[in-house]
Amino acid sequence: MVVVVEQNASEKDIEGIIKTLQDFGFDVHRSTGVNQTVLGAIGVKPDFDTRQVEVLPGVARVYRITEPYKLASRTFKQEKTVIKFKNGLEIGGKAIVVMAGPCSVENENQIFTIAKHVAESGAKILRGGAFKPRTSPYAFQGLGEEGLKLMRRAADEFGLLVVTEAMDSTQIGLMEQYADIIQIGARNMQNYNFLKELGKSKKPVMLKRGLSATFEEWLMSAEYILSSGNKQVLLCERGIRTFETATRNTMDISAIPVIHSKSHLPIVADPSHGIGIRDKVIPMARAAVAAGADAIIVEVHHDPDRAKSDGAQSLFPEQFTEMMKQISVIAEAIGRTIA
Ligand code: PEP
Ligand code: MN
Protein backbone atom coordinates (compact mmCIF):
# COMPACT_ATOMS: atom_id res chain seq x y z
CA MET A 1 0.00 0.00 0.00
CA VAL A 2 1.25 3.49 -0.83
CA VAL A 3 0.20 6.45 1.32
CA VAL A 4 0.64 9.91 -0.20
CA VAL A 5 0.84 12.59 2.48
CA GLU A 6 -0.77 16.05 2.05
CA GLN A 7 1.69 18.78 1.07
CA ASN A 8 0.96 20.88 4.14
CA ALA A 9 0.91 17.97 6.60
CA SER A 10 2.85 18.59 9.81
CA GLU A 11 5.66 16.34 11.03
CA LYS A 12 3.34 15.34 13.90
CA ASP A 13 0.69 14.18 11.34
CA ILE A 14 3.29 12.14 9.43
CA GLU A 15 4.56 10.48 12.58
CA GLY A 16 0.95 9.73 13.56
CA ILE A 17 0.33 8.01 10.19
CA ILE A 18 3.54 5.97 10.49
CA LYS A 19 2.66 4.90 14.04
CA THR A 20 -0.86 3.82 12.98
CA LEU A 21 0.48 1.80 10.02
CA GLN A 22 3.01 0.09 12.29
CA ASP A 23 0.28 -0.69 14.82
CA PHE A 24 -1.64 -2.40 11.99
CA GLY A 25 1.47 -4.54 11.43
CA PHE A 26 2.91 -2.87 8.32
CA ASP A 27 6.60 -2.27 7.74
CA VAL A 28 6.81 1.43 6.82
CA HIS A 29 9.30 3.01 4.40
CA ARG A 30 9.34 6.79 4.27
CA SER A 31 10.50 8.81 1.30
CA THR A 32 10.64 12.55 1.73
CA GLY A 33 10.79 14.73 -1.37
CA VAL A 34 11.01 18.52 -1.60
CA ASN A 35 7.26 19.05 -1.52
CA GLN A 36 5.83 15.61 -0.88
CA THR A 37 6.20 12.71 1.52
CA VAL A 38 5.22 9.21 0.41
CA LEU A 39 4.96 6.21 2.74
CA GLY A 40 5.30 2.64 1.50
CA ALA A 41 3.45 0.21 3.78
CA ILE A 42 4.68 -3.35 3.25
CA GLY A 43 2.72 -6.35 4.49
CA VAL A 44 0.17 -8.76 3.00
CA LYS A 45 -3.23 -7.98 4.50
CA PRO A 46 -5.93 -8.89 1.97
CA ASP A 47 -8.74 -7.86 4.32
CA PHE A 48 -7.28 -4.46 5.23
CA ASP A 49 -9.77 -1.59 4.86
CA THR A 50 -7.77 1.29 3.33
CA ARG A 51 -10.32 3.78 4.67
CA GLN A 52 -8.72 3.23 8.11
CA VAL A 53 -5.73 5.16 6.77
CA GLU A 54 -7.60 7.53 4.42
CA VAL A 55 -9.32 9.20 7.38
CA LEU A 56 -6.09 9.99 9.27
CA PRO A 57 -5.05 13.68 9.47
CA GLY A 58 -2.45 14.51 6.81
CA VAL A 59 -3.34 11.70 4.36
CA ALA A 60 -3.95 12.80 0.74
CA ARG A 61 -4.37 9.42 -1.01
CA VAL A 62 -4.02 5.71 -0.36
CA TYR A 63 -3.29 3.20 -3.15
CA ARG A 64 -3.67 -0.54 -2.71
CA ILE A 65 -1.04 -2.42 -4.74
CA THR A 66 -1.94 -6.07 -4.22
CA GLU A 67 -5.39 -7.44 -5.08
CA PRO A 68 -7.66 -8.39 -2.16
CA TYR A 69 -8.29 -11.80 -3.78
CA LYS A 70 -5.55 -14.41 -3.89
CA LEU A 71 -6.67 -17.88 -5.04
CA ALA A 72 -8.58 -16.35 -7.99
CA SER A 73 -5.65 -14.21 -9.16
CA ARG A 74 -3.08 -14.69 -11.92
CA THR A 75 -0.37 -13.56 -9.52
CA PHE A 76 -1.09 -16.61 -7.39
CA LYS A 77 -1.55 -19.05 -10.30
CA GLN A 78 -0.05 -18.22 -13.72
CA GLU A 79 -1.41 -21.08 -15.80
CA LYS A 80 -5.07 -21.08 -16.83
CA THR A 81 -7.45 -23.37 -14.99
CA VAL A 82 -8.90 -26.07 -17.21
CA ILE A 83 -12.11 -27.72 -15.97
CA LYS A 84 -12.18 -31.39 -17.01
CA PHE A 85 -15.32 -33.54 -17.23
CA LYS A 86 -15.50 -37.31 -17.15
CA ASN A 87 -16.56 -37.54 -20.83
CA GLY A 88 -13.28 -35.86 -21.79
CA LEU A 89 -14.73 -32.37 -22.41
CA GLU A 90 -12.61 -29.47 -21.12
CA ILE A 91 -13.40 -25.79 -20.52
CA GLY A 92 -10.49 -23.35 -20.39
CA GLY A 93 -8.33 -25.02 -23.06
CA LYS A 94 -7.94 -24.22 -26.75
CA ALA A 95 -11.43 -25.42 -27.70
CA ILE A 96 -14.41 -23.17 -26.99
CA VAL A 97 -17.39 -25.00 -25.48
CA VAL A 98 -20.99 -24.13 -26.34
CA MET A 99 -23.79 -24.54 -23.79
CA ALA A 100 -27.33 -24.15 -25.14
CA GLY A 101 -30.94 -24.81 -24.23
CA PRO A 102 -34.07 -23.11 -23.01
CA CYS A 103 -34.25 -20.55 -20.23
CA SER A 104 -36.54 -22.90 -18.26
CA VAL A 105 -37.29 -26.60 -18.55
CA GLU A 106 -41.03 -26.64 -19.31
CA ASN A 107 -42.00 -30.20 -20.27
CA GLU A 108 -40.60 -33.40 -21.75
CA ASN A 109 -41.33 -32.61 -25.39
CA GLN A 110 -39.79 -29.14 -25.09
CA ILE A 111 -36.50 -30.18 -23.49
CA PHE A 112 -36.02 -33.26 -25.72
CA THR A 113 -36.77 -31.28 -28.92
CA ILE A 114 -34.33 -28.52 -28.00
CA ALA A 115 -31.62 -30.88 -26.67
CA LYS A 116 -31.71 -32.89 -29.91
CA HIS A 117 -31.33 -29.80 -32.06
CA VAL A 118 -28.53 -28.15 -30.09
CA ALA A 119 -26.60 -31.43 -29.84
CA GLU A 120 -26.85 -31.98 -33.61
CA SER A 121 -25.58 -28.44 -34.21
CA GLY A 122 -22.54 -28.88 -31.95
CA ALA A 123 -23.48 -27.85 -28.39
CA LYS A 124 -21.76 -29.93 -25.73
CA ILE A 125 -23.70 -28.84 -22.65
CA LEU A 126 -27.48 -28.50 -22.18
CA ARG A 127 -28.62 -25.44 -20.25
CA GLY A 128 -32.03 -25.00 -18.63
CA GLY A 129 -33.47 -23.83 -15.35
CA ALA A 130 -35.50 -26.02 -13.01
CA PHE A 131 -35.36 -23.44 -10.20
CA LYS A 132 -35.91 -19.97 -11.68
CA PRO A 133 -34.99 -16.65 -10.04
CA ARG A 134 -37.87 -14.56 -11.46
CA THR A 135 -38.32 -10.87 -10.77
CA SER A 136 -42.03 -11.50 -10.12
CA PRO A 137 -43.23 -14.09 -7.60
CA TYR A 138 -46.25 -14.63 -9.90
CA ALA A 139 -44.09 -15.68 -12.89
CA PHE A 140 -43.26 -19.34 -13.68
CA GLN A 141 -40.86 -20.54 -10.99
CA GLY A 142 -39.61 -23.73 -12.71
CA LEU A 143 -40.50 -27.43 -12.43
CA GLY A 144 -38.08 -28.11 -9.57
CA GLU A 145 -36.73 -31.68 -9.24
CA GLU A 146 -39.03 -32.87 -12.03
CA GLY A 147 -37.28 -30.39 -14.35
CA LEU A 148 -33.86 -31.69 -13.29
CA LYS A 149 -34.88 -35.28 -14.05
CA LEU A 150 -36.18 -34.33 -17.51
CA MET A 151 -33.03 -32.39 -18.26
CA ARG A 152 -30.72 -35.21 -17.18
CA ARG A 153 -32.61 -37.70 -19.36
CA ALA A 154 -32.59 -35.40 -22.38
CA ALA A 155 -28.88 -34.63 -21.94
CA ASP A 156 -27.96 -38.32 -21.59
CA GLU A 157 -30.03 -39.21 -24.64
CA PHE A 158 -28.09 -36.77 -26.85
CA GLY A 159 -24.62 -37.03 -25.26
CA LEU A 160 -24.68 -33.65 -23.50
CA LEU A 161 -23.64 -32.48 -20.03
CA VAL A 162 -26.02 -30.42 -17.84
CA VAL A 163 -25.65 -26.89 -16.47
CA THR A 164 -28.49 -25.66 -14.26
CA GLU A 165 -29.07 -23.11 -11.53
CA ALA A 166 -29.20 -23.71 -7.79
CA MET A 167 -30.90 -20.87 -5.92
CA ASP A 168 -29.90 -21.80 -2.38
CA SER A 169 -27.79 -24.29 -0.46
CA THR A 170 -30.72 -26.68 0.17
CA GLN A 171 -30.61 -27.45 -3.60
CA ILE A 172 -26.92 -28.41 -3.75
CA GLY A 173 -27.72 -32.08 -3.01
CA LEU A 174 -30.06 -32.26 -6.03
CA MET A 175 -27.39 -30.63 -8.17
CA GLU A 176 -24.86 -33.27 -7.15
CA GLN A 177 -27.37 -35.87 -8.32
CA TYR A 178 -28.49 -34.38 -11.68
CA ALA A 179 -26.09 -31.64 -12.86
CA ASP A 180 -22.53 -31.46 -14.19
CA ILE A 181 -22.10 -27.71 -13.56
CA ILE A 182 -23.94 -25.73 -10.89
CA GLN A 183 -24.97 -22.29 -12.13
CA ILE A 184 -25.13 -19.45 -9.61
CA GLY A 185 -27.35 -16.65 -10.85
CA ALA A 186 -26.49 -12.98 -11.03
CA ARG A 187 -28.82 -12.21 -8.12
CA ASN A 188 -26.97 -14.65 -5.87
CA MET A 189 -23.41 -13.58 -6.68
CA GLN A 190 -22.94 -12.00 -3.27
CA ASN A 191 -24.82 -14.58 -1.19
CA TYR A 192 -21.68 -15.39 0.76
CA ASN A 193 -23.02 -18.20 2.96
CA PHE A 194 -24.28 -19.95 -0.17
CA LEU A 195 -20.89 -19.47 -1.88
CA LYS A 196 -19.14 -21.06 1.12
CA GLU A 197 -21.44 -24.09 0.87
CA LEU A 198 -20.68 -24.37 -2.88
CA GLY A 199 -17.02 -24.46 -1.89
CA LYS A 200 -17.68 -27.85 -0.28
CA SER A 201 -19.19 -29.32 -3.48
CA LYS A 202 -17.23 -31.53 -5.89
CA LYS A 203 -19.11 -30.09 -8.91
CA PRO A 204 -17.79 -27.19 -11.02
CA VAL A 205 -19.57 -23.93 -10.24
CA MET A 206 -20.41 -21.30 -12.88
CA LEU A 207 -20.61 -17.96 -11.09
CA LYS A 208 -22.55 -15.32 -12.98
CA ARG A 209 -21.57 -11.68 -12.62
CA GLY A 210 -23.94 -9.65 -10.44
CA LEU A 211 -26.15 -7.03 -12.10
CA SER A 212 -23.88 -4.19 -11.00
CA ALA A 213 -20.80 -6.01 -9.74
CA THR A 214 -17.29 -4.71 -10.35
CA PHE A 215 -14.59 -7.14 -11.48
CA GLU A 216 -13.12 -7.01 -7.99
CA GLU A 217 -16.45 -7.86 -6.31
CA TRP A 218 -17.00 -10.71 -8.76
CA LEU A 219 -13.52 -12.13 -8.16
CA MET A 220 -13.98 -11.78 -4.40
CA SER A 221 -17.12 -13.91 -4.73
CA ALA A 222 -15.13 -16.51 -6.69
CA GLU A 223 -12.57 -16.34 -3.85
CA TYR A 224 -15.28 -17.43 -1.38
CA ILE A 225 -15.86 -20.65 -3.35
CA LEU A 226 -12.15 -21.30 -3.96
CA SER A 227 -11.14 -20.66 -0.36
CA SER A 228 -13.87 -23.02 0.86
CA GLY A 229 -12.23 -25.86 -1.09
CA ASN A 230 -13.76 -25.99 -4.58
CA LYS A 231 -11.15 -25.10 -7.20
CA GLN A 232 -13.46 -25.66 -10.19
CA VAL A 233 -14.95 -22.22 -10.75
CA LEU A 234 -16.04 -20.65 -14.06
CA LEU A 235 -16.94 -16.98 -14.32
CA CYS A 236 -19.87 -15.95 -16.54
CA GLU A 237 -20.35 -12.45 -17.97
CA ARG A 238 -24.10 -11.98 -18.47
CA GLY A 239 -24.47 -8.25 -18.95
CA ILE A 240 -24.61 -5.48 -16.40
CA ARG A 241 -27.05 -2.70 -15.59
CA THR A 242 -26.14 0.65 -17.11
CA PHE A 243 -27.96 3.88 -18.01
CA GLU A 244 -28.91 2.39 -21.41
CA THR A 245 -32.55 1.34 -21.76
CA ALA A 246 -32.60 0.13 -25.39
CA THR A 247 -31.30 -3.29 -24.36
CA ARG A 248 -32.13 -5.49 -21.35
CA ASN A 249 -28.55 -5.33 -20.07
CA THR A 250 -25.24 -4.05 -21.41
CA MET A 251 -23.04 -6.97 -22.43
CA ASP A 252 -19.62 -6.10 -21.05
CA ILE A 253 -17.31 -7.66 -23.63
CA SER A 254 -14.36 -5.95 -21.93
CA ALA A 255 -14.85 -8.32 -18.97
CA ILE A 256 -13.46 -11.15 -21.10
CA PRO A 257 -9.90 -9.89 -21.72
CA VAL A 258 -9.74 -8.05 -18.39
CA ILE A 259 -10.74 -11.09 -16.32
CA HIS A 260 -8.29 -13.21 -18.32
CA SER A 261 -5.47 -10.92 -17.25
CA LYS A 262 -6.59 -10.71 -13.61
CA SER A 263 -7.56 -14.37 -13.14
CA HIS A 264 -6.68 -17.89 -14.30
CA LEU A 265 -10.34 -19.00 -14.16
CA PRO A 266 -12.16 -19.80 -17.42
CA ILE A 267 -14.68 -17.22 -18.61
CA VAL A 268 -18.07 -17.99 -20.12
CA ALA A 269 -20.09 -15.40 -22.08
CA ASP A 270 -23.90 -15.28 -21.97
CA PRO A 271 -25.03 -13.10 -24.89
CA SER A 272 -28.72 -13.99 -24.33
CA HIS A 273 -29.02 -12.28 -20.94
CA GLY A 274 -26.17 -9.97 -21.96
CA ILE A 275 -28.32 -8.10 -24.48
CA GLY A 276 -31.77 -9.64 -24.08
CA ILE A 277 -32.92 -9.20 -27.71
CA ARG A 278 -33.03 -12.24 -29.99
CA ASP A 279 -31.65 -10.72 -33.19
CA LYS A 280 -28.70 -9.15 -31.34
CA VAL A 281 -27.59 -12.38 -29.62
CA ILE A 282 -25.54 -13.76 -32.54
CA PRO A 283 -23.45 -10.58 -32.99
CA MET A 284 -22.74 -10.58 -29.24
CA ALA A 285 -21.74 -14.26 -29.37
CA ARG A 286 -19.36 -13.48 -32.23
CA ALA A 287 -17.86 -10.60 -30.24
CA ALA A 288 -17.44 -12.78 -27.15
CA VAL A 289 -15.56 -15.46 -29.09
CA ALA A 290 -13.37 -12.81 -30.73
CA ALA A 291 -12.62 -11.34 -27.29
CA GLY A 292 -11.41 -14.70 -25.94
CA ALA A 293 -14.34 -16.38 -24.16
CA ASP A 294 -13.69 -20.01 -23.18
CA ALA A 295 -17.37 -20.94 -23.50
CA ILE A 296 -20.64 -19.45 -24.74
CA ILE A 297 -24.01 -20.09 -23.08
CA VAL A 298 -27.13 -19.25 -25.13
CA GLU A 299 -30.87 -19.68 -24.82
CA VAL A 300 -32.56 -21.64 -27.61
CA HIS A 301 -36.27 -22.51 -27.89
CA HIS A 302 -38.20 -24.40 -30.58
CA ASP A 303 -41.29 -22.23 -29.95
CA PRO A 304 -40.01 -19.05 -28.29
CA ASP A 305 -43.30 -17.16 -28.68
CA ARG A 306 -44.81 -19.59 -26.21
CA ALA A 307 -41.78 -19.96 -23.90
CA LYS A 308 -42.53 -19.67 -20.19
CA SER A 309 -39.51 -17.39 -19.70
CA ASP A 310 -37.11 -15.32 -21.81
CA GLY A 311 -38.71 -16.20 -25.18
CA ALA A 312 -37.79 -12.77 -26.60
CA GLN A 313 -34.08 -13.47 -26.20
CA SER A 314 -34.17 -17.16 -27.18
CA LEU A 315 -32.77 -18.14 -30.57
CA PHE A 316 -34.83 -20.19 -32.99
CA PRO A 317 -33.13 -23.56 -33.60
CA GLU A 318 -32.01 -22.55 -37.11
CA GLN A 319 -30.46 -19.36 -35.71
CA PHE A 320 -28.48 -21.47 -33.26
CA THR A 321 -27.12 -23.57 -36.13
CA GLU A 322 -26.14 -20.37 -37.94
CA MET A 323 -24.45 -19.01 -34.80
CA MET A 324 -22.36 -22.20 -34.55
CA LYS A 325 -21.17 -21.76 -38.15
CA GLN A 326 -20.25 -18.13 -37.60
CA ILE A 327 -18.40 -18.58 -34.33
CA SER A 328 -16.34 -21.46 -35.68
CA VAL A 329 -14.93 -19.13 -38.36
CA ILE A 330 -14.02 -16.58 -35.68
CA ALA A 331 -12.52 -19.25 -33.41
CA GLU A 332 -10.26 -20.38 -36.24
CA ALA A 333 -9.16 -16.81 -36.95
CA ILE A 334 -7.84 -16.49 -33.39
CA GLY A 335 -6.18 -19.90 -33.27
CA ARG A 336 -8.93 -21.72 -31.40
CA THR A 337 -11.54 -24.32 -32.25
CA ILE A 338 -15.10 -25.11 -31.19
CA ALA A 339 -15.20 -28.20 -28.96
C1 PEP B 1 -30.66 -17.72 -16.58
O2 PEP B 1 -29.56 -18.18 -16.93
O3 PEP B 1 -31.75 -18.06 -17.11
C4 PEP B 1 -30.68 -16.63 -15.56
C5 PEP B 1 -31.74 -16.41 -14.82
O6 PEP B 1 -29.53 -15.92 -15.53
P7 PEP B 1 -29.05 -14.62 -14.68
O8 PEP B 1 -28.82 -15.10 -13.29
O9 PEP B 1 -27.81 -14.22 -15.40
O10 PEP B 1 -30.15 -13.59 -14.79
MN1 MN C 1 -33.13 -16.80 -18.91
> Collapsing DSSP states into helix, strand and coil, what is residue 41?
strand
Q: Same domain for 47 and 195?
A: no
The span from the CA of 276 to the CA of 104, in Å, is 15
248 Cβ inside 6 Å of ligand 1: no
pTM equals: 0.92
**Ligand (nearest to CA of 185):** 1
The span from the CA of 66 to the CA of 40, in Å, is 13
- Looking at residue 50, what is its pLDDT? 92
**Ligand (nearest to CA of 274):** 1
Q: Same domain for 192 and 317?
A: yes
> Collapsing DSSP states into helix, strand and coil, what is residue 302?
coil
CA of 281 to the centre of ligand 1 (A): 15
> Collapsing DSSP states into helix, strand and coil, what is residue 134?
coil
Per residue in 214-241, pLDDT (tens digit) is 999 999 999 999 999 999 999 999 999 9
130 Cβ inside 6 Å of ligand 1: no
E strand residue ranges, the chain = 2-5, 27-32, 37-42, 59-63, 83-84, 90-91, 95-101, 125-127, 161-165, 181-184, 205-208, 233-237, 267-269, 295-299, 337-338
> For atom 6 of ligand 1, which residue has the closest CA?
185
CATH number (domain holding residue 23): 3.30.70.1140
186 Cβ inside 6 Å of ligand 1: yes
- Looking at residue 48, what is its pLDDT? 87
CA of 299 to the centre of ligand 2 (A): 7
Structurally, how many domains does the chain consist of?
Answer: 2
> For atom 3 of ligand 1, which residue has the closest CA?
103
259 neighbors 215 (Cβ within 8 angstroms):
yes
- Looking at residue 112, what is its pLDDT? 98
Domain boundary among 10, 31, 63: 63
Phi, psi at 158, each rounded to 5°: -110, 20
CATH number (domain holding residue 227): 3.20.20.70
> For atom 9 of ligand 1, which residue has the closest CA?
186
- Looking at residue 15, what is its pLDDT? 96
Q: Same domain for 215 and 309?
A: yes
> Collapsing DSSP states into helix, strand and coil, what is residue 253?
coil
Sheet with 2-5: strands ordered across: 27-32, 37-42, 2-5, 59-63
- Looking at residue 12, what is its pLDDT? 96
Q: Same domain for 191 and 280?
A: yes
The span from the CA of 304 to the CA of 327, in Å, is 22
Q: Same domain for 141 and 100?
A: yes
231 neighbors 219 (Cβ within 8 angstroms):
no
Q: Among 191, 270, 284, 298, which residue has the most ligand 1 atoms within 8 Å of its CB, making it the best to mutate?
A: 270
229 Cβ inside 6 Å of ligand 1: no
Q: Same domain for 123 and 246?
A: yes
Phi, psi at 250, each rounded to 5°: -110, 115
Q: Whole domain around residue 261: which residue ranges?
A: 83-338
320 neighbors 126 (Cβ within 8 angstroms):
no
Residues of the chain with pLDDT under 50: none
- Looking at residue 310, what is its pLDDT? 96
Q: Same domain for 37 and 148?
A: no
Q: Same domain for 140 and 207?
A: yes
Per residue in 37-96, pLDDT (tens digit) is 999 998 877 788 999 999 999 999 999 888 889 999 998 899 999 999 999 999 999 999
Q: Same domain for 161 and 46?
A: no
**Ligand (nearest to CA of 301):** 2
> For atom 2 of ligand 1, which residue has the closest CA?
103
Q: Among 140, 165, 301, which residue has the most ligand 1 atoms within 8 Å of its CB, making it the best to mutate?
A: 165
> For atom 8 of ligand 1, which residue has the closest CA?
185
Q: Same domain for 23 and 147?
A: no
Query: Is residue 74 one of the residues assigned to a domain?
Result: no
- Looking at residue 311, what is its pLDDT? 97
Ligand 1 atom closest to residue 236's alpha carbon, by position in its atom list: 9
Backbone torsion region of residue 140, taken as left when φ is above 0, otherwise alpha when ψ lies between -120 and 50, otherwise beta: beta
Domain boundary among 13, 30, 63: 63
The H-or-E segment that residue 291 falls in is helix 278-291
185 Cβ inside 6 Å of ligand 1: yes
CA of 22 to the centre of ligand 1 (A): 46
Q: Same domain for 45 and 157?
A: no
